Amino acid sequence: MKTLIGNRGGILMRRVLISALLACLFLTVLIVPAAVAQEKIKLTLASMKTFGIDTMPLLIRRFEKLHPNIEVEFVEMPSPNYSTEIHQYLVTTLAGETGDIDVFTIDCIWFPEFGEAGWLLNMDPYIAAQEKANYFKGAIETVSYKGHQVGMPWYIDAGMLYYRKDLLDKYGFKPPKTWDELIHQAQVILKGEKNPNLHGFIWQGRQAEVLVCDLVEFLGSDGAVLDDKGNVVINNEAGLRAAQLMYDLIYKYKITPESVNTYDEEPSRQVFTSGNAIFLRNWSYVWNIAQDPKESKVVGKVGIAPIPAFKGSKSASCLGGYQFAVNKYSEHPKEAAELAKFLSSPESQLYFAQKISFAPTRPAVYDNAKLAKQNPFLVSLKDVFVYATPRPIHPRYPEISLILQSEFSKLLTNKQTPKQTVDAAAAKIKALLKK
Amino acid sequence: MSSRKVTFMGKLRVSEKNLGYFLVIPALAVVAVMAFWPTLAAFWMSLHDISLIFRTNRFIGLENFKTMAGDPAFRNALHNTVYFTAISVALETLLGLVMALVMNGAFKGRGAVRASVLVPWAIPTVVTSTMWKWIFNTDYGLFNFLLKRFHVISSYLNWLGDGKLAMGCAIMADVWKTTPFIALILLAGLQTISHDLYEAAMIDGANWWQRFTRIMLPLLLPIGLVAVLLRTLDAFRVFALIFVLTGGGPADATEVLSTYTYKVLFSTSNFGYGSALAVSMFVSVALISLVFLNFIRLVTRSS
């Protein structure tokens, strides 16, 4: 009997034990991940590729150390010269209105478009009002849409004039301040050098976004595509003057080769750094390459200056650069805003400036003694950034840009006159904005 | 045949026809999800005004297609696409035939030649396009260098910066890359032609030209047409080559339907009109296929 009961009790005990074990197992399976998830918030940062492979990952690690409850996953997008592809990735990801990415890098020209689409988190509740004064005014304007700050400034870039110091010195010239000076200097030097491979002035005329950047600079401080009220003014006097200059540089003064209409940044840079151009319009990245003996035949022979202007008018330098923004549909807006703020902090900006020469959007960072010693070029750029001029600010900017690219490409291939160009561009943009 | 019963999985007796339908269900399901559904979605979107930026999504019927009819950029792209397709496929077919005839002959190192001919076809289009972009570069390009060296031109030409030349460059790069494809298919066709036919013709006193036009070409026609059809469809949808080489420029001279559609879809986020453009491409491609397939049927029936 006893043994029987004992046996039965044994079976019962075993059953209870097994059940309890199973229950424990179940509970751990259910509870442990939940507990871990509660502990760590996962954010996804989609950043464009920079030339420093580990620059962003190292900074992320520092952020994770400061915020042990946050884990950041890093998604690398293509480098900025594939901005069309980055745009496509961001549009298709953000249009899903899910929190697939929390923080991302965004070209400064996309703020009106993404802002209008309602994809950008309003940062105003997350930043102190006086904090805005610590940035360049243009940088804050860039990341704002309809009165709200919808991004955090990262770095600034602007068009500038590279010139051959050795050649200008040889002919007793100072860096040109006006277009007339530039044309005169180029013609004199070309005549004197008698080098059939040497070009006067190289810029970017390929049917691509960069053509609009160059256009903004030729328009100068008096011209614009859209005025402050959003009216189309590309066909006014200053617009016609810019189109005429672009045409004349190629076909009248012949200091710019016709092949400029196939150049974007890199091909134009190569002409200059192989010693075959006196003047080049390009972004700040050219400087480091021009000083690299492996890449450049003009090491130590290059100077920079603001983009020339028309007489009686001021220089305009096309504003560029990527900024940070937070996805409005992020599941952790507070933490994501924290990450964006961290990436835009003085410490991070100094880090980017020192590691990959990204020009800070906080003027105070330029005063850092260490940076001035290490990268005097970057610090000297402050003078160029004073003239930074944004491209047309409008949610339909991508379409406006396509129209400008097409019409001005026709001008540069001698298919239409400057007058026809600005009139056609104005008519098409007006028709677009009426939609 | 269709009424024949077969045993399925040891038990079920079903007609062979029904079993056939049953067995293709998984494949059909994949095609439906991966091909039909997106295509139908594109058709549906083409009847709407969809802008991601302005968050509009409303039904507008055929309005997008009306816009398209009056859109000079679309007409320009269509014209460029047809021009590119016609010229490049014609050249590829002619050169491909010549290459196939050469490779079909017996000579030393034939295997090596056959393999090396495939190299351009094997390299990704983006890579070859970047390569051609440098070859056609005005200042440093190999093309200008060689032409000047051999006194074909007196001064450097702006290959990718001149509308007409740029289209020619795109066609040249495409011909270089895809001629091997046609050559290989035609070579396979040539090898299926029985040698007895040539021998019989020779005994009857047919010369080389007669053997070529009366035996080889007619027997090569069906497979040749399939090769041309595949190439035409590919050329009509050309994207990577143009996108890398010129981006559609200069002055829209090389803008083709797929690059224009891409710009409308992803640069301007105008998904309604972009889908309408994509649908127009789909319809064009379908029409081309129909015409070709009917032609192929006619040819094979008459022979």
pLDDT > 90 fraction of chain B, expressed in percent and rounded = 58
Same domain, B5 and B83: no
Q: How far apart are CA A361 and CA A340, in angstroms?
A: 14
CA closest to B267 among chain A residues: A398
Write down the pLDDT at residue A246: 97
Residue B230 shares a structural domain with residue B121: yes
Chain A CB within 8 Å of residue B45 CB: no
Mutate which of A120, A259, A421 to disrupt the B interface (most B C-beta within 10 Å)? A259
From the DSSP assignment, how many helices (H) and strands (E) are in chain B? 15, 4
Q: What is the pLDDT of residue B232?
A: 95
Tokens of B144: 């200008």
Please indicate, yes or no, whether residues B172 and B249 belong to a single structural domain of this protein.
yes
Does the CA dihedral B59-B77-A391-B269 come out positive or negative? positive
Q: Which domains does chain A have, with CATH numbers?
A: 39-154+321-344 (3.40.190.10), 158-319+393-434 (3.40.190.10)
Judge whether B42 lies within some domain.
Answer: no
Nearest residue of B to residue A114, measured between CA atoms: B53
Summarised one tens digit per residue, pLDDT across range B158-201 is 999 998 899 999 999 999 999 999 999 999 999 998 888 888 98
Same domain, B127 and B174: yes
In a domain, B293, yes or no: yes
What would the mean pLDDT of B60-71 be, rounded to a whole number? 92
| E strands, A15-62, in order | 41-48
CB of B232 less than 8 A from some CB of A: no
| Beta bridge pairs of residue A267 | none
Q: Do B251 and B103 belong together in one domain?
A: yes
Kindly state whether residues B80 and B199 are assigned to the same domain.
yes
Evaluate if residue B29 carries a pLDDT over 70. Answer: yes
B77-127 pLDDT, tens digit each: 999 999 999 999 999 999 999 999 998 888 888 888 888 888 998 899 999
Is B15 contained in some domain? yes
Q: Is B58 on the interface with A (CB under 8 A)?
A: no
Number of domains in chain B: 2
Let me know whether B180 and B70 are in one domain. yes
E strand or H helix that includes residue B195: helix B195-203
Give the predicted TM-score (pTM) of the model: 0.82
Whether the ipTM is more than 0.95: the answer is no
pLDDT by position in tens, chain A (length 435): 444 444 555 556 666 666 666 665 655 555 555 555 557 899 999 999 987 788 999 999 999 999 999 999 999 999 887 888 899 999 999 988 888 999 999 999 999 999 999 999 999 999 998 999 999 887 888 899 988 999 999 999 989 999 999 999 999 999 999 999 999 999 999 999 999 999 999 999 999 899 999 999 999 989 999 998 889 999 999 999 999 999 999 999 999 999 999 998 888 999 999 999 999 999 988 998 899 899 899 999 999 999 999 999 999 999 899 999 999 999 999 999 999 999 999 999 999 998 888 999 998 999 899 999 988 888 888 878 877 888 888 889 989 999 999 999 999 999 999 999 999 999 999 999 987
In this complex, the residue of A208, A258, A271 whose CB is nearest that of residue B158 is A258
The partner residue sitting opposite A415, judged by closest CB among B158, B251, B267, is: B251
Q: What is the DSSP letter of A279?
A: E
Residue B47, domain member (yes or no): no
Establish if B52 belongs to a structural domain. Answer: no
Residue A5: its pLDDT value, please? 44
In a domain, B134, yes or no: yes
Distance CA A20, CA B5 (A): 56
Same domain, B224 and B262: yes
- Chain A within 8 Å of B53 (Cβ-Cβ)? yes
Phi-psi region of A266 (alpha: psi -120 to 50; beta: other; left: phi over 0): alpha
Does the distance separating the beta carbons of B269 and A412 come in below 8 Å? no
Task: Give CA–CA dist A385/A304, Å, rounded.
Answer: 13
Do residues B7 and B85 both lie within one domain?
Answer: no
The C-alpha atoms of residue B206 and residue B199 are separated, in whole angstroms, by 10
Closest CA to B148 of A76, A279, A46, A196: A196
Nearest residue in chain B measured CA to CA from A415: B251
- pLDDT for res A20: 64
pLDDT of residue B163: 86
Q: Which domain holds residue B20?
A: 1-37
How many whole angstroms separate alpha carbon A216 and alpha carbon A245? Answer: 13
Give, in order, the Cα–Cα distances in Å from A383 to each of A17, A160, A306.
78, 10, 8
The whole-number pLDDT of residue A218 equals: 96
Round to whole Å and give the CA distance between B126 and B128. 6
Query: Which among A113, A207, A402 is the nearest to B53, CB-wise?
Result: A113
Per the CB < 8 Å rule, is B52 touching A262? no
Does residue B276 sit in the same domain as residue B164? yes
Contact B190, B216 (CB under 8 A): yes
Q: What is the CATH number of the domain that holds B86?
A: 1.10.3720.10
In the A/B pair of chains, how many CB contacts fall below 8 A?
97
Q: How far is B28 from chain A (nearest CA, A)?
A: 28
Assigned domain for B59 exists: no
The helix/strand/coil state of A120 is: strand
B259, B237 in Cβ contact below 8 A? no
Reading the block at residue A108, the tokens are 């400064």
Q: Is residue B113 part of a domain?
A: yes
CA distance A210 to chain B (A): 12
Instruction: Show residues of chain A in contact with B266, CB under 8 Å.
Output: 84, 87-88, 91-92
